[in-house]
Amino acid sequence: MPFVSSTSRTALAVRAILALAALWVVAVAGCGRTGPFDDLAAGTTTTTASHAGGSGGAGGGTGGGGGIPTNQTCGDGTCAADETCATCSPDCGFCAGCGDGTCDATETCASCPGDCGACKTCGDGVCGAGETCGNCIVDCGACQTCGDGKCALNSESCASCPTDCGLCKTCGNGVCDPTETCSSCPGDCGGCLTCGDGYCKAPEDCLSCAPDCGKCETCGNGICNAGSENCFTCPDDCGKCEGCGDGICNNNETCASCDHDCGVCSVCGNQKCEAPYETCTNCSEDCGTCDSKGCIEVVTCAFGCIDLGVNPPKFSVTCVSNCVAEGCPNVQFFVDQVLSCAVANLPQCSGGGGDTLQCIQQQCGSELAACLGATCK
């Protein structure tokens, strides 16, 4: 640490302590939301985690597997001799008429889920008979070509590969339509069962599970791309969905779509230290153990959480709290002592028309001296 004179260190400490004093009156207790801000508050039903695959609204067209046997090679990009448009559209392309919005007599939920809806078994966690990456990405995973940035119009659709083809037109209307699933439209159908566990696992991606996989690359560029973004998949560009901000995490809201109501997406134990809210103070498993800091280090750390360039100053309660938490018990005692003095003298020092920092330094000189001289030994 570069040398800082005693006078400069004291002034720095005073400025930080002054800002910390303001935090005293808005201290946050506990580790998480309580009361009406909990996901499972009394009388509140949260639908996000209740979808075990979330098959489409009406259960999908003809249901079942459509009598098509499971094909382990379907989705490899080659239309084999035993594959057809009806048994493996990802490799052989869609059959004529599939995609026109009408489920005709020759189509089933297995051969054309885009028209007939997802099969009833899609979403049970098992890639069973008749299910392929083309008609049930939730159970079978994405096809090999899905995710290459190109929507193969003859074999991919918004239902089977929204990452390449964009969201379906009905996605975002608040209703889980028969052609939608938790994978193709979590905003309407709710998140898939494993979404939110902290691990981005196939078939999860940025569109189907932003809480685990993060936001898509284009989200945050200031442009709401109607093809792949809406208020649920990218509130940064498209604005918040209706209901977000009411203090209750419901209506399929997630930490990614509405952090105001649902909190942050940090998951302790997933081997990722997800700053700024996950730190060594609250998740040593991911972030490692904290090194105990001295008083001046704690004050300097806290000062970095405060923007005194604006009036009133901006600060992060969490950032300051994490800084203080890294002080040993002795250091925290002396910081607390200075805070109490600063709070008691703040009205007098800020209302006299003089230098507030100098006033606090004069009134709390002995407390500051004790804090700056505190050790952890």
Instruction: Tell me the per-residue pLDDT of 94-113, one tens digit each, with 9 for 90 and over.
Output: 999 998 889 999 999 999 98
Query: What does the pLDDT read at residue 343?
Result: 75
Composition of the chain by helix, strand, coil, percent to 5 = 30, 0, 65
- CA–CA separation, 9 and 55 (whole Å): 61
The one-letter code for the residue type at 96 is: A
Q: Which of 33, 133, 136, 29 is nearest to 75 (CA)?
A: 133
pTM of the model: 0.66
Q: How far is CA 330 from CA 21, 27, 72, 81, 370, in A?
A: 19, 21, 64, 76, 11
Q: Taking the CA of residue 202 as centre, how many other CA atoms within 13 Å lie in the half-sphere pointing to its CB?
A: 11
Q: Would the pLDDT of 147 be above 90?
A: no
Q: Which range among 24-28, 67-71, 221-225 has the greatest average pLDDT?
A: 221-225
Query: What does the pLDDT read at residue 354?
Result: 64
Confidence tier at 315 by pLDDT (50, 70, 90)? confident
Residue-wise over 111-128: b if at least 16 C-beta within 10 A, else e? bbbbbbbbbbbbbbeebb
Arithmetic mean of pLDDT, 279-285: 92
Token digits for 202? 């196939």
Establish whether the linkage from the previous residue to 312 is cis, with ω within 30° of 0. Answer: yes
Number of H helices, E strands in the chain: 15, 2
Do 295 and 334 meet the contact criterion of CB atoms below 8 Å apart? yes
